[in-house]
Amino acid sequence: MAAGGGTKAILAALFANAGIAVAKFIGFLVTGSSSMIAEAVHSVADTSNQGLLLLGMRTSKREATSEHPFGYGRDRYFYSFIVALVLFTLGSVFALYEGIHKIQEPESLTTAYVAVIILVVAIGLESYSFRTAIVESRKVKGDAGWVQFIRQAKTPELPVVLLEDAGALLGLVFALIGVGLSVLTGNAVWDGVGTICIGLLLGAIAIVLIIEMKSLLIGEGSGPAELRAIRAALTDGDIDGVIHIKTQYVGPDELLVAAKIAVRGSRSTADVAGAIDEAEARVRTAVPAARMIYLEPDLDRSPAEAT
């Protein structure tokens, strides 16, 4: 993922959510709608989340140290994981609490048209943010479907923003329906029902993000296609075969490749060293993210396992 594309999507979401949060809080103070306060807290959570994503992108650029020899690329995974936790605790749990409270103790809405106007404007702003995220994601997802992109992306920012914006749009629709039904029926319970729907939606999105970000944080390897490309690059020269190979992303744009390669016992040390250098160059050409490559030459004692 191009850093510029991710940053553009994050900034669009940040400014949209910050403005929407202020408007929603004003709407809550005027109307007393639980859907509005749930959505306001949701927007505050989203705004904080975009700030965390930007922080992660910045801290991940620090130079490697003796304590962290592989660098700080996983900072982006860590902050994305925190984003998922914030979305769950500050967004989902609060909305569920407010919704249940509203159903148990319903209060009539006042000047509900204010809430409707704010929600409609918010839908427009969120649509702009969501469209920006879709446009930037299409540049990097290739032929993959959206679900596959979210599950397999090694760069966390765009999947996070995509799911956040999708959840924000659906949440606004739920809030609009809840407020609308409360006005039409004269029963404020519908406002509480809309708020609970928002909480359940945010909880589902947060759980998906927690699962995906945890997987990246503890370390994911190359996908099948990328692994095939690495194996092909290794054996496309004087390397006799790959005995075994392990890969792991230590950051969104940094892949660690460690492999034991088969060489003939008759070859000289200089010849083997040259073959390894050439193999590393081929792998980096085939998979640019493979910045750290460690190849261990060995005699192939298990021909059936070599590829």
Give the CATH fold of the 3-218 domain.
Alpha-lytic protease prodomain-like (1.20.1510)
Q: How many CB atoms are located within 10 Å of the residue 132 CB?
A: 20
Kindly state the average pLDDT of the residues 93-122. 83
Confidence of residue 302 (pLDDT cuts 50, 70, 90): low
pLDDT, tens digit (0-9, with 9 covering 90-100), for 183-217: 888 888 898 898 899 899 989 998 999 999 999 99
Q: What is the pLDDT of residue 201?
A: 92
Shortest CA distance to 133 belongs to which of 143, 121, 146, 123?
Answer: 146
Asked if pLDDT for residue 6 goes beyond 80, the answer is no
- Taking the C-alpha atoms of residue 107 and residue 103, their distance in angstroms, rounded to an integer, is 9
- Taking the C-alpha atoms of residue 158 and residue 162, their distance in angstroms, rounded to an integer, is 6
Asked if pLDDT for residue 117 goes beyond 80, the answer is yes
Q: Three-state SS for 91? A: helix
Cβ atoms of 302 and 262 within 8 Å: the answer is no
Q: Who contacts 239 (Cβ-Cβ below 8 Å, separation ≥6)?
A: 261, 262, 263, 275, 276, 279
- Taking the C-alpha atoms of residue 179 and residue 263, their distance in angstroms, rounded to an integer, is 71
pTM over 0.75: yes
pLDDT, tens digit (0-9, with 9 covering 90-100), for 224-245: 889 999 999 998 877 888 989 9
Going 57 to 63 to 69 to 70, the CA torsion angle's sign is positive
- Taking the C-alpha atoms of residue 267 and residue 107, their distance in angstroms, rounded to an integer, is 84
* Through-space distance between the first and last CA atoms of the chain, rounded to whole angstroms: 31
Q: Residues of CATH 1.20.1510.10 domain(s) within the chain? A: 3-218
- Taking the C-alpha atoms of residue 77 and residue 75, their distance in angstroms, rounded to an integer, is 5
Asked if pLDDT for residue 293 goes beyond 60, the answer is yes
Asked if pLDDT for residue 107 goes beyond 80, the answer is no
Q: Could you give phi then psi for residue 175, rounded to 5 degrees?
A: -65, -40
Least confident of 25-34, 76-85, 151-160: 25-34
Select from 3.30.110.30, 2.40.100.10, 3.90.105.10, 3.30.70.1350 the CATH code of 224-305: 3.30.70.1350
Q: What is the pLDDT of residue 300?
A: 64
Kindly state the average pLDDT of the residues 165-169. 88
Q: What is the mean pLDDT of the chain?
A: 86
Q: Residues of CATH 3.30.70.1350 domain(s) within the chain? A: 224-305
